[in-house]
Amino acid sequence: MKAEAAERRFVRFLKSKKQRVTRQRLEVLRLSWETHEHFTAEGMLTWARKLDQTVSRATVYRSLALLVEGGFLSVLERGKESSLYEHSLGHAHHDHMVCLSCETIIEFQCEAIEELQRLEAKKRSFNLVDHSLTLEGYCSQCKNPAR
């Protein structure tokens, strides 16, 4: 999805929730569309501050949460490490492989896995909303069988 489309959709999303369209919220949305990398809340704060000295950390967190709720961003939780965000609408869904050595993130898609997940959920009358799958190991660069 293009940035402008995302923006229009975000405005609609906010209105539907009776929330206000503010400069800060739009800014976070726009910035998240400007990279194709994963980013942290702190990273977003740094970018936002380049445009507007006064944006606060709290607002960045609050906006990111809103964007996730609306499905504009998806989150990759990393235990105690800070979460990584990426814009998601219009991106095909994918999962991640994370290198335990160099931290590189490889994205992959596998429809067969998704299908099996839906099947397992259905078996248990579980109303599947979302899922997160992360494979941990060593990328081809690091191939480090030690641990």
Partner DNA sequence: ATGCCTGCAAAAGATTTGCACGTCG
Partner DNA sequence: CGACGTGCAAATCTTTTGCAGGCAT
Residue ranges that bind its own copies, judged by CB under 8 A = 77-79, 83, 97, 99-100, 106, 108, 110, 112-113, 116-117, 120-121, 123-140, 143-145, 147
- List the Cα angle 37/103/69 in 5-degree steps: 45
Query: In the set 32, 63, 74, 88, which binds DNA (CB under 7 A)?
Result: 63
H/E element, 30? helix 23-33
123 makes contact with DNA (CB under 7 A): no
Q: How many CA atoms lie within 13 A of 140 on its CB side?
A: 1
Residue 65 binds which one of DNA, its own copies, none, with CB within 5 to 8 A depending on kind?
DNA
Query: In the set 59, 101, 104, 117, which binds DNA (CB under 7 A)?
Result: 59
Residue closer to its own copies by CB (options 33, 66) is: 66
Token pair listed for 95 = 């999962």
41 makes contact with DNA (CB under 7 A): yes
CA distance 17 to 11: 10
**Beta bridge partners of residue 95, listed in sequence order:** 108
